[in-house]
């Protein structure tokens, strides 16, 4: 019986070496590291002003005698008024109120020189009304100032509000926005004033809806994109997700939850102190990041993820509402602003998911996922715990 010829040797096709991740994996790691690096760089909420600031203005009353209530970042206001470090470095509500009273003339001169109300292109005369106050927005103190305006006799046209607060030329911040809400003689609306579009006219006839929608949409996109606490929370959800269906359900729960409290809080139905909201937001990031990592291979993830994300989403919605600075009751103009802002938030959220989730899929399919996922989770936890400590210390 003839011997069976030996089987031909199989050609060896070299595969990727475990120690050399694919180029796509390197890109994934670089992108995620950059995002976490941004969080670490901005971990201190009270860092020196190297970004933008938002001013808030509520203009009410009549067209003949408007009253503007301004919320302005305290230390930035004191620096812009060219006061000494004793004023802008003041800590604690009592000392900040004392500095505002002591420097009332300089502060008033700065604000009235850069926030103007006109009628028929004629300037309305401003005077400060009452004492200044301090309120906290996020983790920063804001000075609250009231200005009463008297418009020229005989002026019958609509009121125009203009803001040039905290311009780039002062070099303390850049790209300042002033969110204006007005209610004057039946003319109601909201607008975001910028250096390229610094004025809004409070006209009953309307016609500014498309501009209002676009500006609040952009405000929503920027708030989520540059709000590192919300971005890190979303990234924590992505790291713990097992599939596209999992992240879709989780993102839907988060969206539904924060939309509910965002609308209720902005309309004045719900009012939770910022001293409670901000620390809970920081704690939510750490909880979701740690739990998602530890349970990433469990099949019962949905049992805890959806309820947990929904509850924390309710808290994040309160944070979104606080950043928008709306303090008025229901109106169609208010709803338009809120929906536009919320759509902007969702657009960025979907964009982050579309970019980051495929990168995480590549990481999970690579042998290095055992150390990459802990390496990504650790900085998120560290940053969020620092924020928690810092925000509790500020609230104390």
pLDDT for 101 beyond 90: yes
What distance in Å separates the CA atoms of residue 162 and residue 180, rounded to the nearest whole number? 9
Whether 248 and 311 map to the same domain: the answer is: yes
> What is the pLDDT at residue 160?
94
Give the pLDDT band of residue 10 (cuts 50, 70, 90): very low
Residue 16: count of CB within 10 angstroms of its CB: 11
Whether 89 and 189 map to the same domain: the answer is: yes
Q: What angle (nearest 5°) sits at the alpha carbon of residue 346, between those of residues 345 and 351?
A: 105
Please identify, among 180, 207, 234, the residue that sits at the C-terminal boundary of a domain: 207
> What is the pLDDT at residue 78?
94
Burial of 100-115, coded b for 16+ CB within 10 Å and e otherwise, reads beebeeebbebbbebb
Q: Is there a domain that residue 91 lies in? A: yes
> What is the pLDDT at residue 396?
56
Lowest mean pLDDT among 62-71, 98-107, 181-190, 329-338: 329-338
Q: Is there a domain that residue 362 lies in? A: yes
Q: Is there a domain that residue 18 lies in? A: no
Q: Is there a domain that residue 213 lies in? A: no
Lowest mean pLDDT among 37-46, 340-349, 377-386: 37-46
Q: What angle (nearest 5°) sits at the alpha carbon of residue 152, between those of residues 148 and 155?
A: 115
> What is the pLDDT at residue 367?
78
Whether 334 and 363 map to the same domain: the answer is: yes
CA 394 from centre of chain: 19
Residue 22: count of CB within 10 angstroms of its CB: 12
Q: Is there a domain that residue 4 lies in? A: no
Whether 34 and 76 map to the same domain: the answer is: no
Whether 181 and 275 map to the same domain: the answer is: no
Query: Number of structural domains, the chain?
Result: 2
Q: Are strands 133-137 and 66-73 parallel, antiparallel or unpaired?
A: unpaired
- 80, 110 in Cβ contact below 8 A? yes
> What is the pLDDT at residue 301?
60
What distance in Å separates the CA atoms of residue 331 and residue 338, rounded to the nearest whole number? 11
What distance in Å separates the CA atoms of residue 344 and residue 92, rounded to the nearest whole number? 35
> What is the pLDDT at residue 30?
53
Whether 58 and 39 map to the same domain: the answer is: no
Whether 327 and 184 map to the same domain: the answer is: no
pLDDT for 80 beyond 80: yes
Whether 183 and 328 map to the same domain: the answer is: no
Please identify, among 207, 238, 273, the residue that sits at the C-terminal boundary of a domain: 207
The DSSP letter of residue 257 is: H
> What is the pLDDT at residue 48?
35
> What is the pLDDT at residue 325?
62
- 361, 247 in Cβ contact below 8 A? no
What distance in Å separates the CA atoms of residue 65 and residue 55, rounded to the nearest whole number? 22
Q: Are strands 122-123 and 66-73 parallel, antiparallel or unpaired?
A: unpaired
The larger pLDDT score, comparing residue 218 to residue 98, is at 98
Task: Tell me how far apart the terminal alpha carbons of the chain are, to the nearest angstrom.
Answer: 94
> What is the pLDDT at residue 17?
45
What values do phi and psi take at 10, rounded to 5?
Answer: -75, 135
Whether 155 and 196 map to the same domain: the answer is: yes
Whether 40 and 64 map to the same domain: the answer is: no
Q: Is there a domain that residue 261 lies in? A: yes
Give the pLDDT band of residue 33 (cuts 50, 70, 90): low
Whether 249 and 372 map to the same domain: the answer is: yes
The larger pLDDT score, comparing residue 56 to residue 226, is at 56
Query: Tens digits of per-residue pLDDT, 168-226?
Result: 999 888 889 898 988 888 788 788 898 888 999 887 545 556 667 787 888 888 878 87
Query: Tens digits of per-residue pLDDT, 126-173?
Result: 999 989 999 887 668 899 999 999 999 988 888 999 999 999 999 888
> What is the pLDDT at residue 25?
47
Q: Is there a domain that residue 7 lies in? A: no
Lowest mean pLDDT among 53-57, 87-91, 299-303: 299-303
The domain of 43 spans 23-47+221-395
Lowest mean pLDDT among 34-48, 67-81, 280-294: 34-48
Whether 274 and 197 map to the same domain: the answer is: no
Give the pLDDT band of residue 394 (cuts 50, 70, 90): low
pLDDT for 5 beyond 80: no
Query: Tens digits of per-residue pLDDT, 280-325?
Result: 888 989 888 888 777 666 655 656 778 888 999 899 888 877 766 6
Q: Is there a domain that residue 14 lies in? A: no
Give the pLDDT band of residue 3 (cuts 50, 70, 90): low
> What is the pLDDT at residue 9?
46
pLDDT for 125 beyond 90: yes
Please identify, among 150, 178, 207, the residue that sits at the C-terminal boundary of a domain: 207
> What is the pLDDT at residue 62?
92
pLDDT for 43 beyond 50: no
- 185, 62 in Cβ contact below 8 A? yes
């Amino acid at each position: 019986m003839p011997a069976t010829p030996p089987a031909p040797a199989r050609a060896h096709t070299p595969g990727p070496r475990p120690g050399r991740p694919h180029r796509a994996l390197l890109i994934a790691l670089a992108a995620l590291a950059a995002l976490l690096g941004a969080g670490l760089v901005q971990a201190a909420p009270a860092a020196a002003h190297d970004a933008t600031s938002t001013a808030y203005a509520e203009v009410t009353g009549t067209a003949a005698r408007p009253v503007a209530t301004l919320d302005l970042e305290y230390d930035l206001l004191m620096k812009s008024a060219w006061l000494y470090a004793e004023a802008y470095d003041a800590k604690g509500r009592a000392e900040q109120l004392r500095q505002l009273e002591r420097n009332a003339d300089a502060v008033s001169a700065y604000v009235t020189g850069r926030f103007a109300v006109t009628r028929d292109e004629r300037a309305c005369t401003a005077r400060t009304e009452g004492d200044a106050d301090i309120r906290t927005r996020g983790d920063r103190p804001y000075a609250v100032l009231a200005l009463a305006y008297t418009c020229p006799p005989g002026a019958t046209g609509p009121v125009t509000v203009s803001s040039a607060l905290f311009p780039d030329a002062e070099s303390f911040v850049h790209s300042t926005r002033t969110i204006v809400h007005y209610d004057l003689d039946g003319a109601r609306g909201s607008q975001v004033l910028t250096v390229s579009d610094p004025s809004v006219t409070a006209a009953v006839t309307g016609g500014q809806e498309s501009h209002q929608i676009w500006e609040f949409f952009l405000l929503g996109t920027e708030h989520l994109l540059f709000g590192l606490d919300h971005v890190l929370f979303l990234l924590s959800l992505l790291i713990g997700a097992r599939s596209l269906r999992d992240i879709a359900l989780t993102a839907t729960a988060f969206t539904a939850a924060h939309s509910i409290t965002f609308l209720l809080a902005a309309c004045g139905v719900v009012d939770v102190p910022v001293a409670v909201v901000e620390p809970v937001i920081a704690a939510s990031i750490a909880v979701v990041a740690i739990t998602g990592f530890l349970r990433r291979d469990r099949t019962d993830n949905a049992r805890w993820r959806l309820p947990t994300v929904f509850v924390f989403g309710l808290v994040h919605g309160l944070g979104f509402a606080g950043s928008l600075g709306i303090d008025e009751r229901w109106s169609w103009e208010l709803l338009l602003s809120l929906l536009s802002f919320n759509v902007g938030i969702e657009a960025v959220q979907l964009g982050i998911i579309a970019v980051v989730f495929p990168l995480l899929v590549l990481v999970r399919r690579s042998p290095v996922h055992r150390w990459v996922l802990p390496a990504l989770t650790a900085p998120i936890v560290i940053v969020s715990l620092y924020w928690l400590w810092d925000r509790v210390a500020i609230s104390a």
